[in-house]
Amino acid sequence: MISVNSSRLIASWLLLAPLLTACGENQQQAAPPPPAVTVAKPVKQMVADQDEYVGRFVAVDAVEVRTRVAGTLDAVHFKDGQIVNKGDLLFSIDRRPFENTAAQARANLVLARSNLTFAESDLTRGQQLVKERTISEQVYDQRAQTKRNAEASVAASQAAVSQADLDLEFTEIRAPITGRIGDRRVSPGNLVAAGAAASVLATIVTTDPIRFEFTFDEASLLRYDRLAKQTADPTTRGLSLPVKLKLIDETDFVHQGNMDFVDNVIDGASGTIRSRAVFENKDEKFVPGMFGRVQIPAGPRVEALLVPDSAIGTDQTRKFVYVVEADNSVKQVYVTLGPVFDGQRAVKEGLTPESRVVVNGVMRVRPGIKVTPQEEGAAPPAPPATAAK
């Protein structure tokens, strides 16, 4: 016999059963759809492997301006940091002592020429007298010697005048090259020395073009040499290769240049060889001493498959991409990578031209799940209809 309480419990379960069934149906209807991802096939493109090196810029020509005569610095004729042209006046040294020296040298030259004129006349008279036996041969030889000494004295005086004029010219220190000058190192009124003890008055460096120096190893030297054999230049050992450069605040190699020098000796301590590239610098963006990174072709151009670098994942030491299969399931594929070209990563092994690689929504997928793929560049799919409650 069923008690009253049991009857009430059975009745309660009968009332709850439809509600539980409806709740289960709502949960099934509310299940999330497969995540939407963007897929793209690898792009076929002719590319070449690239090597990258760090180096710094150096000026093609750099000059330390020094004085060639000692004296008191009289004036400075430039502004610190300005562009100067070859021949521009930079510094002036007090000319007065050198003008006096030049005047004295010219006076000595006049005296030497006067002595030479007298010696020549005296020798001419001696020629007739020695024929008439009026003077001895010894006296005639003495007159000839006097003439030769006078000629030597004239030559020495002429050299002294030339040197005095040269020293006078050196009191005006002019720019030996065209370039940007630094700040003055000596102020007017100071005594400047000449010769080995001469102090640096200023420095000038050329700005356009500019060189970029870096080093690479012996194996790279052999590889670049083979690559450039067809356009070999004996002055650069066949390494007239195009190079690209980027600065430390740039993301892409946007500056174009060319190799113009490779050293003739490999450094025995480091096993590297010094090399140099040249770049245009009309806007003076590159400054001597500035660091940068260059990119050099390391092999011939070959066809490669490229995928966005953002699609590459890392699993400890291995690289992988997510590929969407024909049934829209996700598969993890390990790949062998090459260099980056304009944000696209070359894939050497692991993919085919028909592989559908997940390029957007990588964080929403995992191996084995179903996804809703959308081709890159296609219109997004229509949103699913709202499930009825």
Q: Are residues 131 and 187 in the same domain?
A: no
d(CA 371, CA 361): 10
Tell me which of 297, 315, 346 is where a domain ends.
Answer: 297
Structural contact between residues 175 and 181, judged by C-beta atoms closer than 8 angstroms: yes
Residues spanned by the domain of 84: 70-94+171-205
Same structural domain, 89 and 176: yes
Q: Report if residue 127 sits inside a domain.
A: yes
Residues 179 and 284 in one domain: no
Write the DSSP symbol of residue 31.
P
* Same domain assignment for residues 181 and 103: no
Q: Which pLDDT belongs to residue 377?
A: 57
Query: Strand 372-375 relative to strand 36-40: parallel, antiparallel, unpaired?
Result: parallel
Whole-number pLDDT of residue 190: 92
- pLDDT (tens, 9 = 90+) of the chain, 389 residues, equals 445 555 565 555 555 555 555 555 555 555 678 888 888 888 888 877 778 899 999 999 999 999 999 999 999 999 999 999 999 999 999 999 999 999 999 999 999 999 999 888 888 888 778 777 777 778 878 888 988 999 999 999 999 999 999 999 999 999 999 999 999 999 999 999 987 788 899 999 999 899 999 999 988 888 877 776 655 554 445 556 788 999 998 888 889 998 888 888 998 888 899 999 999 999 889 999 999 999 887 777 777 888 888 888 888 888 999 999 988 888 989 998 877 777 788 888 888 888 899 988 888 888 888 888 888 754 444 444 433 33
**Domain match, 83 and 196 both:** yes
Task: Judge whether 183 and 81 are in contact, CB under 8 Å.
Answer: yes
Whether 183 and 78 map to the same domain: the answer is yes
CATH of the domain at 133: 1.10.287.470
Q: What is the pLDDT of residue 92?
A: 94
Examine residue 17 and state whether it is found in any structural domain, yes or no: no
Where among 205, 231, 250 does a domain terminate? 205
Give domain status of residue 387, yes or no.
Answer: no
Distances (CA, A) of 125 to 65, 128, 146, 273, 381: 56, 6, 14, 75, 123
The count of structural domains within the chain is: 4
pLDDT on residue 278: 93
The confidence score (pLDDT) of residue 90 equals 95
Choosing from 168, 195, 226, the residue where a domain stops is 168
* The pLDDT value given to residue 375: 84
Tell me, yes or no, whether 1 lies in a domain.
no
- Within-domain flag for 252: yes
Q: 89 and 183, same structural domain?
A: yes
Indicate whether 31 belongs to any domain. no
| pLDDT for 382 | 45
Q: Is residue 117 part of a domain?
A: yes
Beta bridge partners of 357: 40, 323
Decide: 353 and 305 in contact? Cβ < 8 Å: yes
CATH number, position 278: 2.40.30.170
Model pLDDT, residue 156:
94
Do 188 and 242 reside in the same domain of the chain? no
**Is there a domain that residue 6 lies in?**
no
Angle, CA of 184, 207 and 78, to the nearest 5°:
30
Give phi and psi for 144, each to the nearest 5: -65, -40
CATH code at position 363: 2.40.420.20
* Same domain, residue pair 183 and 219: no
**87 and 189, same structural domain?**
yes
Tell me, yes or no, whether 252 and 310 share the same domain: no
Given this model, what pLDDT does residue 139 score?
83
pLDDT of residue 383: 46
Q: 82 and 100: one domain?
A: no
